[in-house]
Structure 1
Amino acid sequence: MEYHDSEKAVEVAARVEAFMEEEVLPREREALRTQERISEDEIHEFWELAKERDLFAPQVPEEYGGQGLNFQDMLPSFEQVGRSLFGALSIRANAPQEGNMHTIEMAGTDEQKEEYLHPLVQGDIRSAFSMTEPLDGGGSDPKMLKTTARKDGDEWVINGHKWWTSDGYNADVLLVMARTDLDAHPYEGTSIFLVPTDLDGVNVVRNVGHLGGHGIVDIERGHAEIKYEGVRVPEEALLGEEGGGFRLAQLRLGGGRLTHCMRYSGMAERSLEISKAYLQDRHAFDGTLSEKQALRHRIANAETQLHAARTMVRHAARELDDSDARIEVAMAKLFTANVTNDIMDLAVQCLGGNGIGKDLPVAYFYESVRPFRIVDGADEVHRRSIARHAFDDVYDEDMENVLTFDSDLDMT
């Protein structure tokens, strides 16, 4: 399908596709065949190859070491990297790192960018977004946030309990959401802090076991449970404005939802390609499986739904340039999450034993895609926002704008 992406977007996406076909997918196939996991050193080698091809960190401004693509132009490239189990990681376009880079770029001071953004883009340090809390804390209902940051002289003292902090297990710096004004509504009294993990009181409890993951990459990532116990940070650790944490998080998550949509669309596209190739080769019941009408119709439905999802994401991206596009993004995320789940399930069914086996990437895709209906806003949260818009409920637009996000849990 042609989506009338810009000439720049098409050109870069073509080069990313070539990089996937020539460098990334051959190594992925080898890892699947041998069950030999891809090392962190190898990932760094892919980064150097991506730099040589001017593909490294496409979403980051050139002054910080990226390619400087605007949001709409980078989306087709994100779809291409989604076709591989480690494609996004291979060019430094993986979540949550790309979202954290964007957040620091948007709100960071020059000093913060120098200390964190430059090394983060180059992969010299890791970051994590620490927002979601255990039971009775903040999650799909973010106003339940319990972590606090109290001013003490020229320092902030942070206390709280988080989990599902993506990449938090080995992070060097954490973007921590905390209540800074308990007398104000949480939407107006919450801030974000840059917290180095080597500070006293930052206690990484464990890496929470979860469904899905990289599968073939030998890098301990996961989603950490972290306790902040009297953690002291200087005033300069505040990211953006005091009390502006929810608005900053919403800016981060709006675009992040769409990049997730494109990566998962890439997974779905490749799963369909593998399924169609198998159905054309597999003979049973007096013909190839591709000749069976039931399967043909299910593939046709999947192709149609995937096309609709891609179109919705591009439309939301265009709107995001001029407004918060809250409802457009919610619709695109909700629809794409369910479509990609359905397509991955269909791919496993079409492939039979090969679908549940791990010689092919489809089983890994299947594990990874199910959390997408929960992360970056559960289906129910997005439906809530869409329904309120549909029924024209009376609400404070600014407050509703920050309601539709959940944990930064990410499986890409």
Structure 2
Amino acid sequence: MIDFEIPKETAELAERVRAFVTEKIVPYEKDPRLTVHGPTEDLRDELVELARKEGLLTPQAPVEYGGHGFTHLEQAVIFEAAGWSTLGPVAMNCNAPDEGNIFLLSKICTPEQIEQHLVPMIEGHTRSAFAMSEPDGAGSDPALLSTTAVLDGVDYVINGRKWLITGAEGAQTWIIMADLVDVGPTLFLCTGDTPGIVIERVMDTMDRNYVGGHSVVLFEDLRLPASAVLGEPGQAMRYAQLRLAPARLTHCMRWLGAASRAQSIAVDYAKRRTAFGKPIGEHQGVGFMLADNEIALQQARLMIWWACWTLDRGERGRHESSMVKSSVSEELYKVADRCVQVLGGIGISDETPVGMIFRDLRAFRLYDGPTEVHKFAIARRILS
């Protein structure tokens, strides 16, 4: 039997989250510290303290570290509520890349790495970066990894250039993927002040809701001890998939919340704005766009819940998460586009958050793999 009822405790927490985001976080959307490169560190710290006071900081963390130990399905409900403002996940410390990095570190860290890196992240005191994408190497095809790690005595020396590294500027914890010579792709863990990490520049991008933006980073003779290896040498691709399958879904959850907010704003405007003798929502062209949005939002929600249910059953969920990521990212972008259209001229301005949501949802179609790569993986699976 299929049951779509949300457990009472989860529903009540989602209501608390939605009220917190609406009352405490939405007003910050006009704060000048929300820059073209994302929220400043100062703004992030202020938002985190608000969530801490409400007992809503890092709710997805394992129980042993003070979190709720949510199932994936419970996360879907809570993260959607947090995403009502694009700053909501920043405040609650459940935004990318930290949310996915916390998940990965909680699975494969040593006790020493947990104490140094994971606990401060869960407590909201530090941020992280996951350095994989390269300008001429790893990206949609991680097999093209060109950053190298060489064993030199008892240390590893890493050289290479990465780009589009979210949150690099100011990140205190770094997860670095490099091709360990004679072994294979390996993850390394270090602090952001380690000599050899050079942030060359923060890239100008269309989205602006990730602290630190997206950077070009040079690893220049970055020397790390053997204790910096994260997990087992040569297993980086397996760990990346461990991280990415649920991370694709949490992106979808958060952006479902943002798209629902855009729809709410468009619906309210369509009720108030009159043209040609009646509210524009009563004109079929506008009404149909809002109806299409409502259908798409519910379809996205149910797809997310289905994939979460799959993961909660103990399955790997790679195929399911690829289906959800490719479908949901495309449909939510269309939702935001229609909301801009309903709002007319005001939709392309910053008078409402809809324009910002639209830009971020366009970028979301590329996060954690573009639609085309996921469809390629889906096709390969069904043809095998």
Is TM > 0.5 for Structure 1 vs Structure 2?
yes
Please say if residues 208 and 224 of structure 1, whose CA atoms lie closer than 8 Å, have aligned partners that are also in contact.
yes
CA drift of 1:110 comes to: 0.5
Paired amino acid for 1:144: L
8 Å Cα contact 2:50/2:91 also seen in 1: no
Query: Counterpart of 1:207?
Result: 202
SS in 2 for 1:168: coil
- Is the 8 Å Cα contact of residues 20 and 81 (structure 1) preserved in structure 2? yes
Cα shift at 1:342: 0.2
Q: Deviations over 1:121-168 (max 9, x none)?
A: 223222100000012x11111101011111122211111111111101
Consecutive unaligned residues of structure 2, counting only runs of 5 or more, are none
Given the superposition, is the C-alpha separation of residues 386 and 341 from structure 1 closer, same or farther in structure 2, using an over 3 Å criterion?
A: same
State percent identity of aligned pairs: 38
Partner in structure 1 of residue 112 of structure 2: 111
Question: Residue in 1 aligned with 2:219?
Answer: 228
State the AA in 2 paired with 1:140. Answer: S
Q: How many residues align?
A: 378
Which runs of structure 2 are paired with 1:6-405 in the superposition (5 Å)? 6-28=7-29, 31=31, 40-135=41-136, 137-182=137-182, 189-214=184-209, 221-321=212-312, 322-391=314-383, 393=384
TM-score normalised by L of structure 1: 0.87
Q: Distance in 2 between matches of 1:45 and 1:31?
A: 12
Which AA in structure 2 matches 1:128? A
Residue type at the aligned position of 2:86: L
* Distance in 1 of aligned mates of 2:43 and 2:156: 39
Q: Flag structure 1 segments of 5+ consecutive residues without an equivalent.
A: 394-412
- Structure 2 residue matching 1:163: 3-state secondary structure: strand
For residue 203 of structure 1, report the CA deviation from its aligned partner: 1.2
Distance (whole Å) between structure 2 residues aligned to residue 220 and residue 384 of structure 1? 31
Residues 1:220 and 1:378: Cα distance change in structure 2 (over 3 Å): closer
- 1:399 is aligned to none
TM-score (norm 2): 0.93
CA–CA distance in structure 1, aligned partners of residues 127 and 40 of structure 2? 16
What is the distance in 2 between the residues matched to 1:71 and 1:320?
A: 7
1:333 partner letter: K
Alpha-carbon offset, residue 38 of structure 1: 7.1
Q: Once the two structures are superposed, what CA deviation does each residue of 1:334-354 show, in whole Å capped at 9, x if it has no partner?
A: 110001110110011100111
Question: In the TM superposition, what is the alpha-carbon distance from 1:267 to its structure 2 partner?
Answer: 1.0
In the alignment, is the contact (CA less than 8 A) between 1:202 and 1:228 conserved in 2? yes
Q: Which moved more, 1:294-303 or 1:305-314?
A: 294-303
**Structure 1 residue ranges, 4+ long, deviating more than 4 angstroms after superposition:** 37-42
Alignment correspondent of 1:397: none
**Contact 2:44 2:211 (C-alpha < 8 Å) held by counterparts:** no
Secondary structure at the aligned position of 1:252 is classed as: helix
Q: 1:7 to 1:175 in 2, by over 3 A?
A: same
1:69 partner amino acid: F
Contact between 1:181 and 1:243, CA under 8 Å: does it hold in 2?
Answer: no
